[in-house]
Structure 1
Amino acid sequence: MSILVTRPDPDNEETADNLRARGHAVLLAPVLKFEPVAFHDESEVGYGAVIVTSANAIRAVAPQLRDLGLLELPLFAVGEHTANVARDAGFTEVIVAGGDAASLRDKVVQSARDKLLKTKSTLLYLAGADLSRDLGGELGAEGFSVVTQTAYRMAPIKIFPREVCEGFAAHGIEAVLHYSRRSARAFLDAARNEGVEISALAIPQCCLSENVAAVLRDAGASQVLVAATPDENALFETLERALRTRLA
């Protein structure tokens, strides 16, 4: 029996390694494909900090970071994984939020209150093409000026790898891991396209957040579990709980 990981490349490989270390067999079905967007910074104002809600934003502009002078700025990362990618890219001052956009907003606001960041600072938000919330607008309401630059897009992949379809057909997949609303929707679309929707939704769906879980519940999944906190370790704990329940 295998765990299906829907996370996009390249992060899915690290997830797979962690699952295998826990004794699980793994199937990979990256349902979104990372596509960088050409980055042209025409702003003439100086930035006070960079904010990112995904490691992919950093990967997308990595070749330009030094030339743009961004590595010298503090970077606010949505969570520890994104923070690690930022450090690897050359950022030295990285402030880590609690794993979601709301905690990132609060971290920026608190940094201004603590005088670590000027309230009137202009922030560069390196964002994806599809935003789940208006983080720039929320920070604007707190007195910040936010320049939002689309750095990447995630394009849905409409079919599963053959071994995944075979796994569903043979009832060889025991749970699915979901990391975002967009990837959950792409998973559902691919399952419908492949004609395996009933099998795909009949097993535990382990979700990083309640927002992700809502997509699966609306589609009719009956075994939807949500991580206690929006991080991968908590998601793995949710997976183990789901598997224990199935065996009970």
Structure 2
Amino acid sequence: MTRRVLVTRPQPGADETAQRLVEHGFAPILLPLTRIVALAPGDLGDLSRFDAVTLTSVNAVRHTPPELIAALRTKPAFAVGDISAKAARAAGFATVHAAAGTAADLAPLMASKLAPGSRVLHLAAVERTAGFIEDLAARGIVLEVIEIYRADRLDYAGEALKAAFGDEPVWGAMSLSERAAIFLADIAQKPETAPLFETTRFFCISQKVARPLRKLASQVLVVDDTPTEDAVMRLLLSHD
């Protein structure tokens, strides 16, 4: 049986993930559920007031204006995940610290590396992990947020879904963000697509991401303890 795997992350990440799936013998179905839109950050004034930078997504690196990156890259950068950390290094940040998981996992790392009272610039999405500012404040670190991008929902009409999925069942679906999981749950319950998801395995990057999919009671939810895309890929490879 062809193991068709649904990829819902936005471009260009969707193509990158699809290539990895092909290399492991899967047949990817590309259906990005969000589209990344860059935002103009505006004038931040004197950047010398910042002691460090934090980037909680690779999209923050991709969509920050090059001139702003150039002005900040001498400062230590704190990233979520190896992919974001690699992108930060490629952009020219000399000192990059990485934590797995989410912004919530990054806070203790930042507190261990920065002096109390440090001011950090967060190159962020409009939609982001709640409580990050408060967590850092409790640890004595001031976070200033500048929104660099937003993730707009992509809606698909019935014909577009039919063209994407065809008539064969979806063997697996990768879910790497909570918003995408919410949108995926909607698609999996549509009358025209629900039959294709009756035996689908949902491979989720975290318990938080898996939560919106739990309403699909007949499906299999698989979650790894390590919240990275590599861990999700390992889960795929471990299932028949």
The equivalent of 1:5 in structure 2 is: 7
| 1:123 corresponds to 2:120 | yes
Partner of 2:168: 171
In structure 2, the partner of 1:154 is 151
1:55-84 CA-partner distances (Å, limit 9, x unpaired): 1111121323245x2111110000100011
Amino acid at match of 1:46: R
With over 3 angstroms needed to count, the CA separation of the structure-2 counterparts of 1:120 and 1:201, relative to structure 1, is: farther
* Structure 1 unaligned residues grouped into runs of 5+: 112-116
Q: Is the 8 A contact 2:161 2:193 kept in 1?
A: no
For 2:68, the aligned partner's letter is L
Q: Pick from 81, 84, 99: which aligns with 2:83? A: 81
Per the TM alignment, residue 25 of structure 1 is displaced from its structure 2 partner at its CA by 1.4
Of 73, 80, 95, 1:71 maps to 73
The answer for the alignment partner of 1:62 in structure 2 is 65
Query: What secondary structure sits across from 1:82 in the alignment?
Result: helix
Please give the secondary structure, in 2, of the residue aligned with 1:80: helix
Question: Equivalents in 2 of 1:75, 1:96: separation in Å?
Answer: 8
Q: Deviations over 1:10-60 (max 9, x none)?
A: 112221111111111111111000001110243546100001111111112
Q: Percentage identity across aligned positions? A: 30
Distance 1:14 1:47, change over 3 A: same
Conservation of the 8 A alpha-carbon contact between 1:47 and 1:123: yes
> Residue 192 of structure 2: which of 189, 192, 195 is its match?
195
1:103 CA displacement: 1.8
Aligned to 1:114: none
Name the CA shift for 1:194/1:7 in 2 (closer, same or farther; >3 Å).
farther
Compute the TM-score of the two structures, normalised by the length of structure 2: 0.89
What is the SS of the residue equivalent to 2:5? strand
Aligned mates of 2:190, 2:145 — CA distance in 1: 34
Matched residue of 2:17: which SS?
helix
Cα distance per residue 1:96-145 (max 9 Å; x no partner): 1123222211110121xxxxx22211000111111232211110111111
Instruction: Give the superposition deviation at 1:167.
Output: 6.1
How far apart are residue 173 of structure 1 and its match? 2.1
Q: Contact 2:104–2:129 at 8 Å: present in 1 too? A: no
Give, in whole Å, the separation in 2 of the partners of 1:232 and 1:14. 11
In 2, the alpha carbon distance for the partners of 1:164 and 1:27 equals 11
User: SS of the counterpart of 1:65?
Assistant: helix
Alpha-carbon RMSD across the aligned residues, in angstroms, is 2.3
Q: Distance in 2 between matches of 1:6 and 1:138?
A: 30
2:137 to 129, 135, 140: 140
Contact 2:61/2:87 (8 A) holds in 1 = yes
Shift of 1:237: 1.8
Are 1:213 and 2:210 an aligned pair? yes
* CA distance 1:138–1:11, change in 2 (3 Å): same
- Residue 48 of structure 2 corresponds to residue 51 of structure 1: no
Letter in 2 for 1:212: V
- Conserved 8 A contact 2:185-2:212: no
Residues 156 and 193 of structure 1: CA distance in aligned 2, closer, same or farther (over 3 Å): farther
Structure 1 residues 14 and 169, CA, compared in 2 at 3 Å: closer, same or farther? closer
3-state SS in 2 of match to 1:72: coil
Q: Distance in 1 between matches of 2:27 and 2:80?
A: 29
- For 2:101, give the aligned amino acid: G
